[in-house]
Structure 1
Amino acid sequence: MLILVVGALLCFFYICNTSDLTIPMLYLLLSILASTSLVFIFKLFQRYNVHTFQAIVMNYLTCVLVGFLFSGGSNAVQPAVLEQSWVLYALVLGTIFIGTFYLIALTTHSVGVTAASVATKISLVIPVLFSLLVLKNSLKDYTFVNYTGMFAALVAIVLSSIRPRNHEGEGSTSPILAFLLPFIIFLNSGVADSLINYTNQYHLQQKEASQFTMLTFSASAMVGLLVLLYLLLSGKTTFYRKSILAGILLGIPNYFSIYFLIKALSAFGNDGAFLYPVNNIGIILAGALGAVIFFNEKLTKVNLIGLGMAVLALILISYQEIVANLF
């Protein structure tokens, strides 16, 4: 399994780098690395008994701080930013982010790294269809093969999420929950990516990427702080200091996962129908490889079929670009 994943990753990056797209490919690679690290960090939270929700709130505060520093500490805090046409989209996106992020953590803990990674990234079906049917900015004509890949993506979610039952009845996740969690992540992630694509095309200038990212995370932080404050005041939870360090560890790659995604979209002409499949195949493969190497995650034959189906789906969706680069 490791040989197959490593080989696929090497082939993937070789194909991508055969074209003269040095800067766009750099953004793409950085997006893949930042996004893949997130599910691994969630797995570490489980290992070290980190309070997940508190860490997620601290993570978004970290994102705001990183955005402030990365933007030079001036542009992001100017009142004029709130007058931009993309402000409402940033606020909505921030609310979606924190809810989805918590679901990803739950899925990573109860179902596994691979299922969470596949559900998050196979959600490209939604922004691809949105790019084709609403934005109508794809650089290619979609064929039956492409749409077959989208159907295969849905099958991949189901197969990669199935977990064997614990015969002793301990530590097992119900089959319904094991499917429902990844499916909700699939929907939320797809809507979020579509919203990013729409905002980037109609409202956002490339120089505003850092400001948009920071305001999005500010909205997530505000929602999280309000919920956390309620839990603390009602006595339903106690704050743990290690949540601060865990939030910092999570927040830095989380900020750059969105920042580099926006930069990659701009570098590839905002063609989400092409970028999302290429980006997500790298994340799924890297996630599966890391889950096996670092966390000794056991994948059943059905899970491996689901992983293979996910890769196949992404290849079918973007086969025109792969063929063009090979020949």
Structure 2
Amino acid sequence: MMDLALSILSSTLIFVAFKLFDVYKVQTLYAIITNYIVACIVGLFLYEGDVEPSKIIDASWFWGPILLGVLFITVFNLMAKTAQVAGVSVASVATKMSLVIPVLFGVLFYQEHLSAWQIVGILLALVAVYMASLKEQHITIHKRDLILPALVFLGSGIIDTSIKYFEEQHLTSQEIPLFSSMVFGCAALTGLVFIGVKSVKNPLRVNLKNILGGIALGVPNYFSIFFLIRALRSEMLESAALFTLNNVAIVMFSTLVGILMFKEKLSMKNWGGVVLAVLSIILVALF
């Protein structure tokens, strides 16, 4: 349970870092790529074995970090585009609602058992995520723009499901730091290719503020994945329940941090989402 709590804390710190990006005018894309490089270095530092490229290539999980690395950058850009076209709330809801995908994966493919109360808790969690994330009023999305939140939903769900798959089928406890590091390393390489293509038209300028922002983001980002994989290895909760707790707790704590640190104003609907989040956590964790 401690690993899950640390993963939630790390993810909440990611939210804080992104909010500070707005305050200090950090360019998000460049900070994101720096963050992946930092997260990769942290993972290599924590790995206790020797890093041997030939053994990594021969590992059964080798193709996983490549897939996840590309997905990380792709989903990030889709989230940014969704926020621009449909609003930040829509992007946030699409990301967090994606917990449905790993939950169904755990139940269908790993025959995980959920009690009736846990199922009620998961349904309440979905409502809580929706209500707590909806910050904008009178949101309208054109039919042609529905593809963007749909892709964010699908991409985010595939990332969580892939992490569960590799943890279950391919990873040993000793390999978790190296696997996590490789995921972020591949994401960094994909991002560097992306900005390399962009820099043909707009020359890249190194900015100390972006680098510092990337460092502040990279450390909690690494540990959010590292502790999530460790939590999945424990037998306290089924992965379906664990992903629900992880996502709804992140939304709840991020909302509360927004109030306390950044003086955000919440509507009655947002407060209702927070209350439902607490109730869903109780149902999923205790029953």
CA distance in 1, matches of 2:53, 2:204: 35
Q: Which residue of 2 aligns with 1:15?
A: none
| Cα distance change of structure 1 residues 157 and 141 upon mapping to structure 2, 3 Å threshold | closer
Q: Deviations over 1:101-147 (max 9, x none)?
A: 445567789636x973x6544432211110000122x2x3443x544
Distance 1:242 1:162, change over 3 A: closer
**CA distance in 2: counterparts of 1:68 and 1:267, whole angstroms:** 23
The one-character-per-residue Cα deviations of 1:86-111 (angstroms, maximum 9, x if unpaired) are: 11122111111223344556778963
Q: Which amino acid aligns with 2:73?
A: I
Q: Could you tell me whether the CA contact under 8 Å between 2:8 and 2:249 is conserved in 1?
A: yes
Which residue does 2:68 correspond to in 1? 93
Q: How many Å separate the matches in 2 of 1:103 and 1:48?
A: 23
Aligned equivalents of 2:194, 2:218: Cα separation in 1: 18
Residue 88 of structure 2 is aligned with which of 91, 97, 111? 111
2:168 is matched with which residue? 201
Q: Distance in 1 between matches of 2:128 and 2:66?
A: 31
Q: Deviation string for 1:1-44 (max 9, x for gaps)?
A: xxxxxxxxxxxxxxxxxxxxxxxx22122111111111111111
Distance in 1 of aligned mates of 2:17 and 2:91: 15
- Deviation larger for 152-161 or 289-298: 152-161
Q: State how many pairs are aligned.
A: 282
Unaligned runs of 5+ in 2: none
State the secondary structure of the residue aligned to 2:26. coil
Match of residue 22 from structure 1: none
Gap change, CA 1:47 and 1:179, over 3 Å in 2 = farther
In structure 1, the residue matched to 2:241 is 274
Summarize the alignment of residues 176-187 of structure 1 with structure 2, pairs less than 5 Å apart. 176=141, 184-187=151-154
Which residue of structure 2 lines up, in the alignment, with residue 287 of structure 1? 254
**Structure 1 length as normaliser, TM-score?**
0.75
How many angstroms apart in 2 are the aligned matches of 1:179 and 1:305? 26
Counterpart CA distance in 2 for 1:313 and 1:252 is 29
Q: Which residue does the alignment assign to 2:191?
A: 224
Sequence identity (%): 37
Contact 1:155 1:306 in 2 (8 A): yes
Question: In structure 1, how many angstroms separate the alpha carbons of the residues matched to 2:239 and 2:175?
Answer: 19
How far apart in 1 are the matches of 2:74 and 2:114? 35
**1:197: how far off?**
0.7
1:59 aligned partner = 35
Q: Deviations over 1:146-204 (max 9, x none)?
A: 44554444444544325136xxxxxxxx6328998766544322211111111111111
- 1:205 aligned partner, one-letter code: T
Asked whether 1:30 is paired with 2:6, we answer yes
Contact 2:249 2:277 in 1 (8 A): no
Residue 301 (structure 1) aligned with residue 268 (structure 2)? yes
Secondary structure, in 3 states, of the residue corresponding to 1:57? helix
| Amino acid in structure 2 at the alignment position of 1:243 | N
Q: Confirm or deny that 1:175 pairs with 2:113.
A: no
Matched, 1:134 2:109: yes
In structure 1, distance between residues paired with 2:140 and 2:124 = 20
Query: Is residue 79–residue 91 contact of structure 2 (8 Å, CA) maintained in 1?
Result: no
Which residue of 1 is the match for residue 99 of structure 2?
124
The answer for the alignment partner of 1:47 in structure 2 is: 23
Identify if the C-alpha distance between structure 1 residues 179 and 256 changes in structure 2 by more than 3 Å, giving closer, same or farther: farther
Q: 2:102, 2:157 within 8 Å by CA — same for their partners in 1?
A: yes
Q: CA deviation at 1:230?
A: 1.4
Who is 2:286 aligned against?
322
- Residue type matched to 2:107 in 1? L
Cα deviation, residue 262, structure 1: 0.7
TM-score relative to the length of structure 2: 0.85
How many Å separate the matches in 2 of 1:230 and 1:58?
17
CA distance in 2, matches of 1:41, 1:105: 16
Distance (Å, rounded) in 2 between the aligned partners of 1:106 and 1:304: 27
Q: Secondary structure at the match of 1:175?
A: coil
Give the match for residue 223 of structure 2: 256
User: Are the counterparts in 1 of residues 12 and 250 from structure 2 also a CA contact under 8 Å?
Assistant: yes
| AA in 2 matched with 1:111 | V
Structure 1: unaligned runs, 5 residues or longer: 1-24, 166-173
Q: Cα offset for 1:281?
A: 3.4
1:264 partner SS: helix
**1:267 maps to amino acid:** S
Give the secondary structure class of the aligned counterpart of 2:264.
Answer: coil
Q: Does structure 1 retain, via aligned residues, the 8 Å contact 2:91–2:152? A: no
SS in 2 for 1:75: coil
